[in-house]
Chain A
Amino acid sequence: DGGITQSPKYLFRKEGQNVTLSCEQNLNHDAMYWYRQDPGQGLRLIYYSQIVNDFQKGDIAEGYSVSREKKESFPLTVTSAQKNPTAFYLCASSRTSGGAQYFGPGTRLLVL
């Protein structure tokens, strides 16, 4: 999992602001994912991408957007439409065939 990086480690968002979380992997994985983690809850799927230039909404996509222009990169934008963005955001990747997913170190988003 050392092949996945996320930045920044901490991010502060002001009301009405869009912010973008970075996720990069050098594992040559085709599939990438964004999960949100809240205290006492498991990880919930925001968006996923099985291949470059294609992505799909997950279970809690409202207020978020993504892009997948490069195989290595899958940035997540938290828009002002997301009214409760405070959470720990985790990016992961895997082979297209599924199986083991490996996670980045996470970004903790806080609202000012």
Chain B
Amino acid sequence: GENVEQHPSTLSVQEGDSAVIKCTYSDSASNYFPWYKQELGKRPQLIIDIRSNVGEKKDQRIAVTLNKTAKHFSLHITETQPEDSAVYFCAAPHNQAGTALIFGKGTTLSVSS
């Protein structure tokens, strides 16, 4: 089945810097890769996703890139702000459980002003 590894587990940046979080997956058949943002005590919120037929997708200050050959995808946040501080999770199709997802262990992003 699919396996998702996420790095780093913690990331601290200064306000205005860029942040990059990387995930690798194992199943070459996986075709959908979402990113979620979770604030303390809250539900995960979908912030951006990408399908395997595109290599990059942008939405204002966030972007996701996908390298199918290397089986990794990354979240890029530019011009970070304190409100970007949260835990970020990547995910991929579980592939052995219908349309369920399998999640990375999360990256805690801290943006200091």
The size class of the interface chain A forms with chain B is 20 to 34
B94, A42: Cβ atoms closer than 8 Å: no
Kindly name the residue among A43, A90, A94 whose own CB sees the greatest number of chain B CB atoms within 10 A. Answer: A43
Known contacts A100-B49, A101-B46; A40/B105 CB under 8 A: yes
Main secondary structure of the interface of A (DSSP, over half): loop
**A1 touches which of B45, B49, B89, B102 (Cβ 8 Å):** B45
Chain B residues near A43: list those with CB within 8 A.
44, 89, 101, 103
Q: Is the CB of B34 within 8 A of A101?
A: yes
Q: How many residue pairs, one in A and one in B, have C-beta atoms under 8 Å apart?
A: 66
Could you say which of B32, B45, B89, B102 contacts A45, with CB atoms under 8 Å apart?
Answer: B102
0/1 per residue, B87-113, Cβ < 8 Å to A? 001000110011111111110000000
Least CB separation from B99: chain A residue: A98
A97 within 8 A of B: yes
Question: What residues of B have a CB within 8 angstroms of the CB of A50 in the complex?
Answer: 98-99
Distance A95 CA – B99 CA, assembled complex (angstroms):
9
Contact among A48, A58, A106 with B43 in the assembled complex (CB-CB below 8 Å): A106
* Also in contact, A101 and B43, with CB within 8 A (given A42-B89, A42-B106, A43-B89): no
- Residues on B lying within 8 angstroms of A by beta carbon are 4, 6, 32, 34, 42-46, 49, 89, 93-94, 97-106
